[in-house]
A and B are shown apart, each in its own frame.
Chain A
Amino acid sequence: MEPMVQCEDVYKTLRTGDGAKGHASQVFAGLNVVVGRAERLGIVGPSGCGKTTLLKLINRLLDVDAGRVLVDREDVRDREVLSLRRGAQLVPQKPFLFGETVRDNLLFGLQAAGNGGGEEGLSALLEEVALPDVGLDRPVAALSVGEQQRVCLARALALRPQILMLDETTASLEPPTARAVLERLYRRVEEDGMTLLHVTHEIPKLRALDRIVVLAAGGVAEEGTPRRILERPQVEVTREFVRGLD
């Protein structure tokens, strides 16, 4: 397996607030994870186990305290950060849109990169996220939360990232919509050879992935195929997680 993302002995403590009122919690203490090129990896674990933190270390919204994170065999701190982020797109759970229209959003990352705004393919992107009826000129204020979420996804795809990171991204969609969106998305991921990191706690989504990593207590509690993890969990954390899924 050719590695796309490597976390090597990663330590990370998150701090909120500052000075005496600040609060610090250690999220990772020696985390090791390897994600292969074009692999579709599920990330699960109890809340606070660092799922989101892991994604943010990969696109460098956060920096490690110790250890290192490599993307395409290069330390993320040695990469030009903006191009790293465009190549490793993170779509958070809460949708945030920028500018006035759907078009503004699809062009947001491209324009931030100084690539101007080629409009080719933008409508196709909307179709890809199951929004064929939403025009590029639709004001973002007129979109439902589910539509906003899909525009966020399309915005990420517009940058043609090598790595796509979904953080409970489709949680706010109706199940049939979510299914349709993910089906197409997984196909696109496969066609383009994208590497997918998907934080989710929904069984059907997990089953469609290549491998699942369970995070707990500052590191990886166990990993394996979705089938193995869901049907024969080996550590208590995973058993508890699987019980909570139903």
Chain B
Amino acid sequence: MEGFVDLTLPDVAIALVFVVIVAVVSALNRLFLEKTLLVGTVRTFVQLIAVGYLLKWIFGLDRWYLVLLAIAAMVAVAGWHGARRVGRGVGRTVIIATAAVLLGSVLVIMILFGVIVRVEPWYNPRYLIPLAGMIINASMNGASLGMATFATSAREHAERLEAALAAGATSRLAARPYVRHAVKMALIPTINMMMTVGIVQIPGAMTGMILAGGAPTAAVLYQIVIVYMIAAAAAASTIAAVIWYSRAFFTPAHQLRAGLV
């Protein structure tokens, strides 16, 4: 790997000019995006600089427990943030989202590092942290979107759910069409990504490897593995999240839970 061009802070400042242009356009057209844009710009800078130093520190110390701690923190943040977008009944949603992200991503990460990418040592943070991040992110998006979709349709079709229960259905049978719908909707972005990867967008990991001087053919193999793993993690987390979350809408006596619907 050679030929890697280092960027400096002045380079970042030049990139910032484009954000300023967007802000000016927004102000002129009264789109009211300036404040959000400012927050986003500052957060991008602060979060990534912080992560840069944090990763440098973790890479330097090279301790397995620090790597696992970093991954646990990622899962926790993903669960919390994923649940936040679902709304109502937040206490329980956080637990469900976190458990679903944990299940989907940890399973996939174990297969990825135990069978496919076998690095030395097994916790090599240079590999484990960025790859885990991508997988956890996919899990979070799937779980969050699935739960939000289920909540919306369950509330919209509460009467129909109750009619199914009255007709003698178990809560599982009554919820099944909405569980299916939610899983399907939540996986659309993942399926779209699989359909267009490399054509519409060159994914981040591949871009990174090519920028760092890696051979495109090697980068492509990595990317294929990542896409498969992302799809698997997203699917597993989405299915788990939607099924667990759907149960929270019913009492053990197959009644709709008041307050949720």
Segment touching A, from B50-58, B103-111, B155-163, B236-244: B155-163
Interface of chain B residues 229 through 261 with chain A (CB within 8 A)? 253-256, 258-260
CA distance A89 to B170 in the complex (A): 15
Contact with B along A1-39 (1 / 0, CB 8 A): 000000000000011111000100000000000000000
Q: How many A-B residue pairs have CB under 8 A?
A: 65
Q: Is the CB of A60 within 8 A of B173?
A: no
Asked whether A156 is an interface residue with its Cβ less than 8 Å from the other chain, the reply is yes
Q: Is the CB of A109 within 8 A of B162?
A: no
CA distance A155 to B165 in the complex (A): 13
Asked whether B167 is an interface residue with its Cβ less than 8 Å from the other chain, the reply is yes
* With A18-B89, A81-B254, A96-B159 as contacts: A109 and B259 at CB distance below 8 Å: no
Q: Is the CB of B159 within 8 A of A94?
A: yes
Contact with B along A77-116 (1 / 0, CB 8 A): 1000110011001101010101000000000110011000
Chain A neighbourhood of B166, CB < 8 A? 59, 61, 85, 89-90, 92
Q: Is the CB of B163 within 8 A of A112?
A: no
Chain A neighbourhood of B128, CB < 8 A? none
* With A15-B258, A18-B89, A18-B259 as contacts: A86 and B168 at CB distance below 8 Å: yes
Q: How far is the CB of B145 from chain A (nearest CB, A)?
A: 22
CA distance A57 to B169 in the complex (A): 17
Chain A neighbourhood of B165, CB < 8 A? 61, 85
CA distance A205 to B126 in the complex (A): 77
* Closest residue of A by beta carbon distance from B177: A98
Asked whether B66 is an interface residue with its Cβ less than 8 Å from the other chain, the reply is no
* With A63-B253, A94-B159 as contacts: A22 and B167 at CB distance below 8 Å: no
Asked whether B164 is an interface residue with its Cβ less than 8 Å from the other chain, the reply is yes
Q: How far is the CB of A106 from chain B (nearest CB, A)?
A: 11
* With A61-B162, A61-B166, A98-B164 as contacts: A82 and B89 at CB distance below 8 Å: no
* Closest residue of A by beta carbon distance from B255: A61
Q: Is the CB of B256 within 8 A of A61?
A: yes
Chain B neighbourhood of A108, CB < 8 A? 167-169
Asked whether B88 is an interface residue with its Cβ less than 8 Å from the other chain, the reply is yes
CA distance A62 to B257 in the complex (A): 9
Q: How far is the CB of A112 from chain B (nearest CB, A)?
A: 5
Interface of chain A residues 193 through 225 with chain B (CB within 8 A)? none
CA distance A94 to B165 in the complex (A): 14
Which of these, B162, B170, B258, B260, contacts A82 with CB under 8 Å?
B170
* Closest residue of B by beta carbon distance from A167: B166
Q: Is the CB of A98 within 8 A of B89?
A: no
9 residue pairs from A and B, CB less than 8 Å apart: A17-B259, A18-B259, A60-B255, A61-B162, A61-B165, A82-B170, A92-B166, A94-B163, A96-B164
